[in-house]
């Protein structure tokens, strides 16, 4: 085997070994750096590589957006809530967007 064949085998081996990390970065996993650390540090154990691969292929967790409440300012200190989850309604000078957490 000449030098170029050994070099090619080395490159292919590194790419296969780093597959979980590459997949995690391509898929935009939120824990991509943890996947990379697991892959580099424990990938040689095969079990660590399989865990990193499964983790990189798992669906990323979705963050729940908080509801948007539109408060219409009325005369004095009175205000009324007109709706929730309104995203496309145009705002005028009497409307204020307020985000609040709801405990349910």
- What distance in Å separates the CA atoms of residue 48 and residue 21, rounded to the nearest whole number? 12
For residue 67, pLDDT beyond 70: yes
For residue 22, pLDDT beyond 90: yes
Residue 66, pLDDT score: 76
Q: What is the domain partition of the chain in residue ranges?
A: 3-57, 68-99
Take residue 99 and report the two structure tokens written for it. 């985000």
Is 90 or 56 the better-scoring residue by pLDDT? 56
3-state secondary structure the chain: CCHHHHHHHHHHHHHHHCHHHHHHHHHCCCCHHHHHHHHHHHHHHCHHHHHHHHHHHCCCCCCCCCCEEEEEECCCCCEEEEEECCCCCCCCCCEEEEECCCCC
pTM for the full predicted model:
0.56
Give helix 3-17 / helix 19-27 axis angle, nearest 10°: 50
Region 12-40: mean pLDDT is: 95
Tens-place pLDDT, residues 34-52: 999 999 999 999 999 999 9
pLDDT level of residue 76 (50, 70, 90 thresholds): low
pLDDT level of residue 83 (50, 70, 90 thresholds): low
Residue 82, pLDDT score: 54
């Amino acid at each position: 085997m000449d030098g170029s064949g050994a070099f090619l085998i080395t490159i292919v081996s590194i790419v296969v070994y780093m597959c979980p990390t590459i997949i995690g970065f391509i898929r935009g996993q939120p824990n991509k750096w943890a996947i990379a650390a697991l892959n580099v540090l424990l990938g040689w154990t095969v079990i660590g590589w399989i865990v990193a691969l499964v983790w990189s292929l798992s669906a990323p967790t979705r963050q729940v957006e908080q509801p948007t409440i539109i408060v219409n300012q009325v005369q004095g200190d009175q205000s009324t809530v007109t709706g929730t989850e309104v995203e496309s309604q145009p705002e005028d000078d009497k409307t204020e967007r307020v985000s609040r957490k709801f405990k349910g």
